[in-house]
A and B are shown apart, each in its own frame.
Chain A
């Protein structure tokens, strides 16, 4: 954890001047309070001795000055602090993105869900407070302690020691003590809170299932009992947590009493001028303002370190692909050749690809089909250099894939996949992402070819209509057409269609496939799919299962061979699935339905 703290400090380092200024201003604010009360006390004490008014003038000016300076310093402090915090936030975002970018998508497969990504975003926002809540308050408190040391020390070092000691007790010892006292309950609370939240989430999102299975009442009882337990724990916790403020207040008062105990004999002995007693008492009370935020600082520190830890865990991963040192070679043509390819994601997992071999000539088409988990997507990931293969070779245009920089490689490949992300942007913005240099004519042409132009025209703001979370929601078919238009705009010699029709209904699927044929023309195309629709004209089909190619050929050849492909095709298309199943059990490569009989 200490390492995490110092790494965070490193990230905040560029803003040290601003932060220093903010600390100084924060110090000035509290020092003004001390000054205001101390000078006020001095005025009335001195006035009680009935001197001439001229002798009070300086002190009166001082009081007015401190009365004004406190507000202004506080105002400036807040501005400077927020400025620094926003700068830190911007830097954190940029830092995180730049670290993350080379890791995508290989090291991020576990973070694909929106929830985890939202947590990352929230974690970064938590760290924005690192300076405001964690660094600044203790520094300000230390400055105030130093000020008091010199201010009170000028009268007597013992008095200074008393104040600094009580400041330390209130600012450091109390928070640590209270936190330690509440640690057990706190941990229980975290666990119970998680269980309660889970039950609540289950209750809302599983509402239909609970009602249909007449379990809503039971679930409600479950929630009530968790909520009750949480409530009781919270109550127990409040008894500990309440100590924090109570002790801080008590220590402040004790410091005043102790100060009086020590100062009164000194005054009686005329070691200190009696006119300063009031000043000392009020200064001692005022300076405690500096330690009030410290208990929460400890809590923030814990949260922030945990957030930072989570971020570092992601960012510290080694990229799965290292780009070559030299510049990428020029491809001779746009053919693909895969030889004896083997790959596994993790050392302790089975092979995702095993002995995969194929040749795809420039401008021709090849389809890879198979059930999910067959290794189809893995093949795409390797071809795009999102991962590097373990053994075997992939050649693109006569050069091994590993000789190309990832970016240069992907510049040659257009991808239409099932999970194309559409950004919170206009349709134009989303399309131009594929080719920022494209003009209006290119845009309309690509959209027309992808058969989305008319639809876009029908939207209220045409190409400038916002889509995504903030705007119009598009149907699955419309999204896929945008993805196709992007591929057209990118205009690459190689094309990968990765389950381009998944999540579409049958009618839309047919239409999208028709559009895709236009896109494929003249391009080296790899089609990945588990839907055996529209493959009749594809030159070569590879049937994969569990990482291996088990059949290859054209559609009609594969149908005639009456193998796995044929069975998949019939399952999908023919009405009488049960008959095939029973046949399948009789043959060797039957489905794994062992438990059926």
Chain B
């Protein structure tokens, strides 16, 4: 409960930039309460006048006109408060979206990639949207629930103490019950939602495995399984809901029974002449209005809470401090005539806060102009080396230097602009093929893009696409095969023309023909460049000046292809497995 309130406070603080609108929302709520009282007053006067004093339409006309004016004003306030609330929610979402994205870029792929990426995407896209309900529905309702009953009470108490007391005493019951029963019921419903999502997951799983089920001749049986799981879910859920809905029942009862109590109580006092009709009717009109905002808060509560849940995750992400060490204040700019003599000295790195060690005292050197290939079993930390060089991560221990300067002291953007990186799984953006290649140089002319594509052997398949270089790819366009994506990545590297090249496992799982094309393209790319080649298949490695064999996070063999084969170590064994010949 307490942590929830702290979260509430932090969320509301987000609205600080929109504080004018927050003030408007609250001010409008207070005014709404006043108008409500005025309306009740006028109606009771009109009805009392006609009913008991036999007034004519003409005689009550001023009150009717005033009532009309108040009604219009109240609608105006309701409109204004909704617009203001939307403004708050819009502003908060806009600012959180920006902050979240900026922070994720700071955290870098070490945090955003892998299994977490789906969930993160969801938080950035849907989680931020979920705050909408909190700010545009829950928060204004909270203001109404706090102010309207209070205003009503202020007017009723001096007028009719008994009714006022009934309202005053029953009102707290609503929030108390909401918290008491709500909390317990909430936990129950939450568990139930979880089982609902399990059921959805099962259904999704079945759909995804439909072909496998068909192959195994079991696809028809699954219909029964789906029916059975749905039925079981319905039964257990309903038994939970029977309890959970009790909270709503109690709330409803408090509100209606109190109204009934007030009605009977004022009716009896009227009967004995202890109250005048006008006042009694005024109280009766206001009694349900007194409970309405509190009840509405109950229905908006869930919308608000899902916003809080989303906010929890958003703040959690924002609270992670980037692992990267801050660059030293006097950053040196790497010169363009860099020689790129790169040294790794006893580098250690572990993922998941030291839980999963990837590099364990790795030392290596990439001399200027050299092509160094790294091979080793999967999970030996090969990609970590690339990530360190790109400064997506910084070493836990040990040093990385470039021309005897610590890598951390170089301006990160300038350093990265010296590197062309061909990742293992290049990401293709939801944009045209041409724009995807232009990632390397947004200002490249189409001739340059086409030349890069040709060099990467991508031109032919791109031309065969429905709209050539303008074809949209990614989720919302056509999908490219792994080999095609790889060639787009190569085209990017060609376009970038950076002096230092990092090729990460570029030829895994490809068709032999494409593999050969890629290899040809890569050899072009490697010319006149310092390069680090991370290869899973050994084919590419053989052309390198030096091959480093990595195992268990450190270098275990070093040498040229021929020398390593003669040594008969891990490399030669891997080579035998790969090619079947020596």
Q: Which of A64, A213, A246 has the most CB of B within 10 A?
A: A213
- Name A218's contact: one of B242, B390, B442 (CB within 8 Å): B442
Q: Which B418-438 residues have a C-beta within 8 angstroms of A? A: 419, 421, 423, 426-427, 429-431
Q: A82-B241, A98-B223, A421-B211 are in contact. Are A209 and B51 (CB under 8 A)?
A: no
B263 sits at the interface (CB 8 A)? yes
Additional A-B contact list (10), CB under 8 Å, known A235-B90, A260-B46: A40-B259, A74-B248, A124-B203, A198-B430, A207-B104, A216-B105, A242-B79, A253-B39, A575-B539, A577-B515
Does B57 interact with chain A (Cβ within 8 Å)?
Answer: yes
What residues of chain B lie closer than 8 Å to A115, measured between beta carbons? 475
Across-interface contacts of A89 in B (CB, < 8 A): 230
Contact of B270 among A48, A215, A254 (CB under 8 A): A48
A-B contact pairs, 8 of them (CB 8 A): A32-B256, A40-B263, A105-B210, A204-B112, A212-B421, A224-B98, A278-B51, A386-B214
8 Å CB contacts to A: which residues of B383-406?
390, 392
Chain A residue numbers with a CB within 8 Å of B60 are: 260, 264
Residues in B61-105 with C-beta less than 8 Å from chain A: 64, 67-68, 71-72, 74-76, 78-80, 82-83, 86-87, 90-91, 93-94, 97-98, 101-102, 104-105
Cβ of A70 under 8 Å from chain B: yes
A448 part of interface (Cβ distance < 8 Å):
no
A200 located at the interface, meaning its Cβ lies under 8 Å from any Cβ of chain B in the complex: yes
Question: B245 to chain A: which residues have CB within 8 Å?
Answer: 75, 78-79
How many Å lie between the Cα of A124 and that of B202 in the bound state?
14
Within 8 Å CB of B267, what residues of A?
Answer: 40, 43-44, 46-47, 56, 59-60
In the complex, are the beta carbons of B90 and A101 less than 8 A apart? no
Is the CB of B355 closer than 8 A to any CB of chain A? no
A470 to B54, CA, bound (A): 75
**Contact indicator B82/A220 (Cβ below 8 Å):** no
Interface 9-residue window, one of A135-143, A396-404, A566-574: A566-574
- Indicate if B513 sits at the interface (CB-CB under 8 A): yes
Give 1 or 0 for each of A242-268: 1 = CB within 8 Å of chain B CB: 110111011001101100110011011
A63 contacts B109, C-beta separation under 8 Å: no
Return the CB mask of A263-285 against B: 1 if under 8 Å, else 0. 01101100000110110011001
B238 touches A79 (CB 8 A): yes
Bound-state CA distance A15–B210 (Å) is 29
Q: Which of B239-283 contact A (CB under 8 A)?
A: 241-242, 245-246, 248-250, 252-253, 256-257, 259-264, 266-268, 270-271, 273, 276-277, 280-281
Measured between beta carbons, the chain A residues less than 8 angstroms from B43 are: 256, 281
| Nearest-Cβ distance from residue A492 to partner chain B, whole angstroms | 10
1/0 contact string of B170-214 vs chain A (CB within 8 Å): 000000000000000000000000000000111111111111111
A207–B86 Cα distance when bound, in Å, is 31
- A79-B245, A253-B39 in contact; A433/B213 too (CB < 8 A)? yes
B496 and A71 contacting across the interface, CB-CB below 8 Å: no
A147 within 8 A of partner (CB): no
The CA-CA distance from A199 to B377 in the complex, in Å, is 35
- A104 within 8 Å of B by Cβ? yes
A153 at the interface (CB under 8 A from B): no
CB distance from B468 to the nearest CB of A (A): 15
Least CB distance, A217 to chain B, in whole angstroms: 8
Given contacts A82-B241, A246-B75, contact A505 B378 (CB under 8 A): yes
What class of interface size applies to chain A in its complex with B?
A: 35 or more
Does A423 belong to the interface (CB within 8 Å)?
Answer: yes
Q: Which residue of A lies closest to B92 (CB)?
A: A231
CB-CB under 8 A from B270, the residues of chain A are 44, 47-48, 50
Counting chain B residues whose Cβ lies within 8 A of the other chain, the interface size class is 35 or more
Contact indicator B75/A250 (Cβ below 8 Å): yes
Q: B82 and A108: CB pair below 8 A?
A: no
**Interfacial chain B residues near A64, Cβ < 8 Å:** 260, 264
A105 x B523 contact (CB < 8 A) = no
Say if the beta carbon of A460 comes within 8 Å of chain B.
no
The residue on B at minimum CB distance from A416 is B215
Residue of B nearest to A102 (CB): B219
Name which residue of chain A comes closest to B387, CB basis: A208
Q: Could you tell me the distance between the alpha carbons of A211 and B104 in the complex, rounded to whole angstroms?
A: 11
Q: Cβ of B579: which chain A residues have Cβ within 8 Å of it?
A: 573-575
B 215-251 contacts with A by CB, 8 A: 215-220, 222-223, 226-227, 230-231, 233-234, 237-238, 241-242, 245-246, 248-250
Question: Is the C-beta of B480 less than 8 angstroms from some C-beta in chain A?
Answer: no
Instruction: State whether the Cβ of B5 lies closer than 8 Å to any Cβ in chain A.
Output: no
Beta-carbon contact of A202 and B516 below 8 Å: no
Task: Name the B residues within 8 Å of A265 (CB-CB).
Answer: 56-57
CA distance A214 to B439 in the complex (A): 9
Whether, in the assembled complex, A83 has its beta carbon less than 8 Å from a beta carbon of chain B, the answer is yes
Q: How far is the CA of A118 from the CA of B203 in the complex (A)?
A: 10
Give Cα A38–Cα B93 distance, bound, in whole angstroms.
45
Residue of A nearest to B86 (CB): A238
* In the complex, chain A residues whose CB is within 8 Å of the CB of B475: 115, 198, 201
Task: Please tell me if the beta carbons of B64 and A260 are within 8 angstroms of each other in the complex.
Answer: yes
Contact of B271 among A50, A213, A411 (CB under 8 A): A50
B322 within 8 A of A: no
**Chain B residues numbered 99-138 whose CB sits less than 8 Å from any CB in chain A:** 101-102, 104-105, 108-109, 112-113, 117, 120-121, 124-125, 136
| Neighbour of A44 across the interface among B50, B86, B284, B483, CB < 8 A | B284
Q: Name, among B46, B230, B267, B536, the residue most crowded by chain A CB atoms within 10 Å (CB to CB).
A: B267
Are A277's CB and B68's CB within 8 A?
Answer: no
Among B39, B207, B242, B390, the most chain A Cβ lie within 10 Å of the Cβ of: B207
Does chain A have a CB within 8 A of B440? yes
Q: Which of A328-336, A520-528, A555-563, A587-595 contacts B (4 or more CB under 8 A)?
A: A587-595
Query: Which chain B residue shows the least CB distance to A435?
Result: B216
B125 touches A197 (CB 8 A): yes
Q: How far is the CA of A20 from the CA of B106 in the complex (A)?
A: 56
Given A208-B113, A246-B76, decide whether A117 and B124 contact each other with a Cβ distance below 8 A: no
Question: In the complex, what residues of A have CB within 8 A of residue B426's CB?
Answer: 209
Known contacts A209-B439, A211-B416; A201/B212 CB under 8 A: no
Contacts of A149 in B (CB 8 A): none
- Given A75-B249, A104-B219, verify A93-B520 contact (CB < 8 Å): no
Please name all residues of chain A whose beta carbon is closer than 8 Å to the beta carbon of B218 when the two chains form the complex: 433, 436
CA gap between A383 and B523 in the complex, in Å: 42
Is the Cβ of B91 less than 8 Å from the Cβ of A231?
yes
A32 closest partner in B (C-beta): B256
Q: For residues 44 through 96 of chain A, which have their beta carbon under 8 Å from a beta carbon of chain B?
A: 44-48, 50-51, 53, 56, 59-60, 63-64, 66-68, 70-72, 74-75, 78-79, 82-83, 86-87, 89-90, 93-94
B263 near A90: Cβ-Cβ < 8 Å: no
Any chain B CB within 8 A of the CB of A14?
no
Q: Could you tell me if B277 and A48 are in contact, using CB atoms closer than 8 angstroms?
A: yes
Q: Does B331 contact A (CB under 8 A)?
A: no
- A208–B271 contact, CB under 8 A? no
Do B105 and A207 touch across chains, with their CB atoms under 8 A apart?
yes
Q: Which residue of A lies closest to B514 (CB)?
A: A371
Q: Is the CB–CB distance between A573 and B580 below 8 Å?
A: yes
Of the candidates B67, B78, B285, which one forms a contact with A242 in the assembled complex, judged by CB atoms under 8 Å apart?
B78
**Contact with B68, one of A242, A257, A386, A421 (Cβ below 8 angstroms):** A257
CB contacts (< 8 Å) of A391 on chain B: these are none
**How far is it, in angstroms, between the C-alpha of A248 and the C-alpha of B238 when the chains are bound?**
34
Q: A79-B245, A208-B113 are in contact. Are A203 and B516 (CB under 8 A)?
A: no
Contact of B264 with A207 in the complex, beta carbons under 8 Å: no
Known: A204-B117, A274-B50. A238 touches B87 (CB 8 A): yes
- Is the pair A101, B75 in contact by a Cβ cutoff of 8 Å? no
In Å, the complex CA distance between A56 and B264 comes to: 10
In the assembly, what is the distance between CA of A228 and CA of B419, in Å?
Answer: 33
Check if A372 sits within 8 Å of B481, measured CB to CB.
yes
A388–B569 Cα gap in the complex (Å)? 52
Annotate B488-531 by CB proximity to A: 1 below 8 A, 0 otherwise: 00001000100000000000010111111101100100000000
Docked complex Cα distance between A210 and B109 (Å) = 10
Report if B325 contacts A (CB, 8 A): no
Q: How far is the CA of A29 from the CA of B206 in the complex (A)?
A: 41
A43 touches B215 (CB 8 A): no
